Amino acid sequence: MSIELVIVRHGQSEGNRDRVFTGHGPSPLTERGRREAEAVARRIAEKPVSAIFASDLPRALETAAPIVTQTGVPLVADPALRERNFGELTGTSFADIEERHPDVWRALRARDPLFRPPGGESNADCRARIAGFVDALLAARAEGRIVLVSHGVAINQLLYHLLGLPAEAPPVVFRVDNCSVQRVERHEGVVRILCINDKSHLEGLLT
């Protein structure tokens, strides 16, 4: 028996477009993001889906909605799949942080696993949260094709966990673009990464 995780990053949000730290803040999809969500839904619906889980943040729920429509599978929203919480940085542009708080910017760019912005989460905190979710999911289900809709940093942390990388390891950054698909399979106890940042379903999408 095998279980496949189809891990989707949300479509382009206003925060992505404007290069702003969004974290747990509201940031709806752009028009492009909505087209991306429709495209990834069509791709996912080509095969049966057992369950759909999504972060409860608006941009993830908007991305999951067409997948629910295309597959007929109900959505379960779970805050464990949220993006890293950037605390007081939420709503601040990358450029402003780099200019006004260079030490904070350097820590973020270095992906220090223990750096916690004021009022926010470290990468290690985010990893523990999403790892707990996926471990419980894999313990409860032996087979099926399960869709997870989440966020860029959170998906990286999830992949690190599945690969067994120690939290203090040098940063390995997986490129996870908007509405890209990551596929992970567990078969007879072995976890296999099948693809990362698959965007073939977005080819030809108008900008």
Q: Which residues does the annotation mark as catalytic?
A: 10, 83
Known binding residue 59? Answer is yes
Known binding residue 22? Answer is yes
Known binding residue 151? Answer is no
Known binding residue 2? Answer is no
Known binding residue 9? Answer is yes
Give the pairing of strands 181-187 and 2-9. antiparallel
Known binding residue 14? Answer is yes
Pair 86, 202: CB distance under 8 Å: no
Known binding residue 15? Answer is yes
CB atoms within 10 A of CB 92: 18
Question: What tokens does 31 get?
Answer: 């028009």
DSSP string, 77-100: E-GGGPPPP-GGGTT-BHHHHHHH
Residue 118 gets which letter from DSSP?
T
Binding-site sequence positions:
9-16, 22-23, 59
Binding-site sequence positions for substrate:
9-16, 22-23, 59
